[in-house]
Amino acid sequence: MPFFVPDNYSPEAIALAEGFQELGIYTFSNINYWFNPEENKFLLAQSDEEYEVGIYDYKYLYHSMPWTLNRIDKDKINILLDRNDWLIPKWRNNSVLNSFDFIFIDHMLKGFEYPKHVLPWSIGLTNRIIKSIDKSLPEKIPSNTILCNFRVGHNLRKLLTSELNTRLSSYYRIDNNISSFINNDYSPEEYQVHKSYWEQSARRHNPKFYEDLNNHLLTYAYGGYYEFRPQFYQPYSLMEKALRKLSYLSFNFRKKYNLDFANQIFVFQYDSFRFWEALYSATCPIHLDFESWGFILPVNPIEGIHYLGVKRLSFEEFEKRVAKFSKAEISQIGIEGRKWVYEHYSPKATAQRLLNIINK
């Protein structure tokens, strides 16, 4: 499992390594990677041993092409994990496509064509997330509030949050507080553990945030960006720019007169860390509806059973639907989502999924 040192947080690879080890499969890396401060050892230890399957993180590959491509052993099974967030996937390069037996990508969308060996993947769960959330699971139904505390702004988040807050604040209190674990009291030993994970996860580890998830009935768990149709990869050609301009003009007109503009846009980079954290916690996640927006995961959650989803941009319909649920019913959706995500996206489940694919 080769990695590039700077900017190298890869939960997909961490989950696979944890899952393989749980299944009794030996794993190692070209560098010492992902230090576990509680066990005082690396999840992946550095070694130059022989291997059967090589798993490459996209950051390592893209920081070092074509050097890395020239070093790939084509006699092995080679896999690329690609969480490239934008609309410029580097796996579309033939030298990349021809170097890997399987390319697993996050953020897969209907509407794009994919080679047969490019398959859907996801951020999923790691043991750090599971253990951190388990520590603060409530014994009773969470409070009648919605957690709305995004760390990073996306244009989709701005659009959805504005609409949802306007409609749902009559039923639930909106909590915008962003907590930092640094401002809370921990023993010196606990603080060092949290600090280590915080640094390694690019500041994503926050035990107070996990407590907040468990203590709120609902959580805004969406992320990503909307872009104007037609659906193309970047960079856009002159013709593609002209076609998109028509959607842009229609979008502005419809938005000005409060008309539905869902058909003028598509959404990308929808897979977010907080979605998986919210699914596993006691809260009920609010997201866009995966089916109506064409989001593709290895296994999609079911709207209304595992999460609550906005179908297209039908905010009025969503408000009416949410208003009909009792607090207990919403809490049950959170419970079902937690069971579902552990079944399909725990480290062991994720590792087994990869093994099933390569052993077909």
Render pLDDT for 327-353 as a digit per residue (tens, 0 to 9).
Answer: 999 999 999 999 999 999 999 999 999
Q: Which two tokens stand for residue 172?
A: 């639930």
Contact 46, 28 (CB under 8 A): yes
- Check residue 172 and give its pLDDT: 96
Q: Kindly tell me if the per-residue pLDDT of 266 is higher than 90.
A: yes
Domains and CATH numbers, the chain: 11-121 (no CATH), 127-224+269-344 (3.40.50.2000)
What is the full DSSP assignment across 318-350?
A: HHHHHHHS-HHHHHHHHHHHHHHHHHHHSHHHH
Question: What is this structure's pTM?
Answer: 0.94
Structure confidence at residue 188 as a pLDDT band (50, 70, 90): confident
DSSP-assigned beta bridge partners for residue 147: 175, 219
Q: Kindly tell me if the per-residue pLDDT of 6 is higher than 80.
A: no
Cα-Cα end-to-end distance for the chain: 22
Contact 281, 213 (CB under 8 A): yes
61-77: pLDDT as tens digits: 877 777 778 889 999 99
10-57: pLDDT as tens digits: 999 999 999 999 999 999 998 899 999 999 999 999 999 999 999 999
